[in-house]
């Protein structure tokens, strides 16, 4: 029989980590009578400056993650989380924090990133938030438990699924669609996928909705095809979804037998409608497939586009390159305002989508290339020429020094940097300074309320003046 040693401790939250969890340090006496040793605590759902009580198992360890037992002295920015799943679900981490507090913290995040790289934090504007920071997501990926429950992973526990009755960050119609699929799974006694045993039927449910057109997509990821013994159950799903949700224009069954826990498809079955939905942003229409990357907060993404246009100041006689262009979220609005635009993106399906989206929007001055950023820039410079404006929207890992130095050597007049990671943004910017660029302004935008993530749009100009 194992005896679990536990101890009640009192801690004060010193700061938050990069996942939004409170951090505290407790000094404890050393068994050897030397200097006190540190017990570092990670305490989710707490805020800086709060005093908390925790019960720690194995307090002799150096690092422990533990939920707060009691908030002894609460932050003035603490609020009641409205979601009934908040304490367990890993989808949101900051529902216990006032929205104003979240926005101030995100502004500080971006400023601190600049400070660490020796850049001027005064260039950072206050974060632009949402009037209503709820039900903002137009895409959600839910996971099935082995028992067939639909939900999200538990905070810090990839193996456990929290069944959901609601979701306060997803669009309301998306939640209704998720609940209907959940009901169907239970009625037919279908099971979910067991990640440890690598067996079971249902893996994920992806729901996409266009807030502009009202069209919705439901995509089920499973380990078997929707025929044979499953045919009658799948026919029932099609009937109930098409009857209850006429706005579902795409109902998909995607076979995925890979051990990796990703929403990918080896064989796609169209159950009803078409294999894509239409969405609109900033006056432009886009086709979205199940694997299309598109901003998941449309109202705030529109602000990103508006800011990029405002900073970039595109002119009719200018050439532009959109690096990491995706399906053309920024490409199309800029293409309507410049002489020529070239988009570069490593994902071939996104490039095909960008080409179709340009045609759908009657834009014929675009060139799109499926290449990695470095080779794509070199190839575009050879065939397209050098750009007056360059927009860069890299992944969280940033563009990297080699890409940024290539950009610097090509000397665009203006560079618009759209960032989803303040740290990699600041590092990338420093690579441009030796080439004569000046960082003019940084505008954070909150696309993911109640999470740690913050986007920003920044302008760099050659020579320190906006030409």
Average pLDDT over residues 62-89: 94
When pLDDT is cut at 50, 70 and 90, the band that residue 34 belongs to is low
Helix pair 373-383, 401-410: axis angle to 10 deg: 20
- Count of structural domains within the chain: 3
Report the pLDDT value the prediction gives residue 31, as an integer from 0 to 100.
62
pTM: 0.92
Whether 85 is in a domain gets the answer no
Q: Which domain holds residue 418?
A: 107-130+293-462
Same domain, 306 and 432: yes
pLDDT per position as a tens digit, 254-307: 999 987 778 888 889 999 999 999 999 999 999 999 999 899 999 999 999 999
328 touches 279 (CB < 8 A)? no
For 433, the 3-state DSSP assignment is helix
Average pLDDT over residues 41-49: 96
Residue 30 confidence (pLDDT) above 90:
no
Q: How would you class 417 by CB atoms within 10 Å of its CB: exposed for 0-12, middle for 13-18, buried for 19 or more?
A: buried
From 89, 92, 325, 420, the catalytic residue: 420
When pLDDT is cut at 50, 70 and 90, the band that residue 392 belongs to is very high
Report the pLDDT value the prediction gives residue 29, as an integer from 0 to 100.
73
Whether 381 is in a domain gets the answer yes
Average pLDDT over residues 96-123: 98
140 touches 206 (CB < 8 A)? yes
Domain boundary among 225, 251, 281: 281
- CA distances 423 to 97, 117, 419, Å, are 23, 9, 9
Whether 320 is in a domain gets the answer yes
Same domain, 370 and 405: yes
Residue 125 confidence (pLDDT) above 50:
yes
When pLDDT is cut at 50, 70 and 90, the band that residue 35 belongs to is confident
Report the pLDDT value the prediction gives residue 195, as an integer from 0 to 100.
86
Same domain, 373 and 333: yes
Rounded to a whole number of angstroms, the CA Rg of the chain reads 25
Same domain, 298 and 447: yes
Same domain, 439 and 297: yes
* CATH assignment of the domain containing 445: 3.40.50.150
State percent of the chain over pLDDT 70: 97
Q: Is 420 a catalytic residue?
A: yes
Greater pLDDT, 420 or 155: 420
Distance CA 56, CA 245 (A): 48
Average pLDDT over residues 423-448: 98
Same domain, 371 and 431: yes
Same domain, 271 and 402: no
pLDDT per position as a tens digit, 321-373: 999 999 999 999 999 999 999 999 999 999 999 999 999 999 999 999 999 99
Same domain, 321 and 299: yes
Same domain, 175 and 315: no
41 touches 56 (CB < 8 A)? yes
Same domain, 299 and 432: yes
Beta bridge partners of 154: 89, 157
Handedness of CA 325, 329, 334, 336 (dihedral sign): positive
pLDDT per position as a tens digit, 101-111: 999 999 999 99
């Amino acid at each position: 029989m194992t005896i679990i040693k536990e101890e009640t401790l009192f801690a004060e939250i010193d700061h938050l980590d990069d996942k939004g969890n409170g951090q505290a340090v407790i000094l404890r006496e050393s068994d050897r009578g030397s200097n006190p040793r540190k017990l570092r605590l990670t305490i989710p759902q707490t805020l800086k400056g709060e005093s908390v009580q925790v019960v720690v198992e194995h307090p002799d360890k150096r690092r422990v993650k533990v939920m707060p037992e009691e908030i002894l002295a609460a932050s003035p920015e603490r609020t009641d989380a409205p979601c009934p799943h908040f304490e367990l679900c890993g989808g949101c981490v900051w529902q216990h924090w006032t929205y104003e507090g979240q926005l101030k913290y995100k502004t500080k995040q971006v400023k601190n990133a600049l400070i660490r790289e020796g850049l001027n934090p005064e260039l950072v504007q206050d974060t632009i938030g949402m009037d209503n920071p709820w039900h903002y997501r137009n895409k959600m990926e839910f996971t099935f438990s082995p028992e067939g429950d639909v939900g999200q992973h538990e905070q810090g526990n990839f193996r456990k699924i929290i069944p959901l009755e609601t979701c306060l960050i997803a669009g309301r119609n998306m939640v209704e669609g998720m609940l209907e699929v959940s009901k169907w799974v239970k009625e037919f006694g279908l099971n979910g996928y067991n990640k440890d045993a690598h067996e079971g039927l249902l893996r994920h449910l992806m729901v996409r909705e266009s807030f502009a057109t009202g069209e919705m997509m439901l995509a089920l990821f499973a380990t078997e095809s929707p025929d044979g013994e499953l045919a009658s159950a799948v026919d029932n799903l099609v009937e109930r979804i098409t009857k209850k949700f006429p706005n579902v224009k795409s109902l998909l069954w995607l076979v995925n037998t890979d051990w990796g826990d990703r929403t990918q498809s080896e064989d796609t079955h169209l159950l009803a409608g078409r294999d894509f939905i239409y969405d609109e942003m900033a006056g432009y229409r886009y086709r979205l497939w199940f694997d299309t990357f598109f901003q998941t907060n449309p109202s705030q993404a529109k602000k990103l586009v508006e800011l990029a246009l405002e900073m970039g100041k595109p002119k009719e006689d200018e050439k532009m390159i959109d690096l990491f262009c995706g399906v053309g979220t920024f490409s199309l609005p800029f293409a309507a305002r410049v002489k020529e635009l070239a988009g570069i993106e490593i994902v071939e399906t996104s490039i095909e989508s960008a080409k179709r989206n340009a045609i759908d929007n009657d834009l014929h001055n675009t060139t799109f290339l499926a290449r990695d950023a470095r080779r794509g820039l070199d190839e575009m410079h050879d065939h397209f020429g050098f750009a007056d404006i360059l927009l860069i929207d890299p992944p969280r890992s940033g563009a990297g020094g080699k890409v940024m130095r290539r950009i610097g050597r090509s000397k665009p007049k203006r560079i618009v940097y759209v960032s989803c990671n303040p740290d990699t943004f600041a590092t990338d910017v420093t690579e441009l300074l030796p080439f004569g660029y000046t960082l003019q302004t940084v505008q954070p935008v909150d696309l993911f309320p109640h999470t740690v993530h913050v986007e920003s749009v920044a302008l760099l100009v050659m020579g320190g003046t906006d030409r």
